[in-house]
Structure 1
Amino acid sequence: MKLLMKLVLSAIAVIILAKLLPGVTLDDTFTTPLIVAFILAILNVLVKPILIILTLPITILTLGLFLLVVNALIILLADKLIDGFQVSSIWTAILFSLLLSFLQSILYSVLKEDKK
């Protein structure tokens, strides 16, 4: 149940960012952001670790800043896989990735259980 709520909150974050960022466009249906959130989750689990391992030397040289580019590549890959989701450039994808992480951390804090 918690996983489904995280997926819905991620879809809401994608909708908010598509409204705010001029280079990100979404279809008007609510299914497209859900699909985007699901595909991003799958890509983050399957593809991102491979990209991190392949780009480890440049990531070390840039003190981890190249991971922003890896995140943007994941966003651009999702753009190619989903018809109703478009990101205009790599810079927009980097900004989208940063803002999505920030917004998800705020929205996910709602789901945290109180540990007593």
Structure 2
Amino acid sequence: MGFIIRLLVNALALYLLTQVYGGVSFAPGADVVGVLIAALVMGIVNALIRPVLLLLSLPVNVLTLGLFTLVVNGVVLYLVAAVTALNVNGFGAAIIGALILTVISWVLDAVVGALGLDGKSE
């Protein structure tokens, strides 16, 4: 059940990102299935590719005191856009979109946790 809630939260976060920020959008004609597929791909990329990117960029990340993580998150969003119905208007838009997506996901996670839908007992 937690996987489905996480997928729905990610899908809602991606959808809200496209509504708030003009640099990231879904392809015309993309439906709910397209948004869910983009969220699923985002989860897979975050689970498999992002840790490798963070490990490879560790020296630069240490030098920038963690700010290079924003670039890694932008690369992840750009990769997701390359294989799904998500459109990103360049790499700078991917970095800004990843930053906004992080904030939106953080807020949605807090709401889900406050409602007790995350399955964690207190």
TM over 0.5: yes
Query: What is the aligned partner in structure 1 of residue 57 from structure 2?
Result: 55
Q: Deviations over 1:25-63 (max 9, x none)?
A: 214301111111111111011001111111111111111
3-state SS, counterpart of residue 31 of structure 2: coil
Distance 1:99 1:23 in 2: 11
Cα RMSD for the two superposed structures: 1.4
Query: What is the aligned partner in structure 2 of residue 10 from structure 1?
Result: 10
Shift of 1:97: 1.0
- Give the TM-score normalised by structure 2: 0.86
| Contact in 1 for aligned 2:23/2:97 (Cα 8 Å) | no
Query: What is the aligned partner in structure 1 of residue 31 from structure 2?
Result: 29
Query: What is the aligned partner in structure 2 of residue 87 from structure 1?
Result: 88
Structure 1 stretches of 4+ with a deviation exceeding 4 A read none
Structure 1 vs Structure 2: percent identity of aligned residues?
32
Query: What is the aligned partner in structure 2 of residue 45 from structure 1?
Result: 47
Distance 2:69 2:100 in 1: 15
3-state SS, counterpart of residue 22 of structure 1: coil
Shift of 1:94: 1.2
3-state SS, counterpart of residue 91 of structure 1: helix
- Give the TM-score normalised by structure 1: 0.90
Q: Unaligned regions of 5+ residues in structure 2, if any?
A: none
Query: What is the aligned partner in structure 2 of residue 97 from structure 1?
Result: 98
Shift of 1:19: 1.7
Q: Unaligned regions of 5+ residues in structure 1, if any?
A: none
Pairs aligned (count): 114
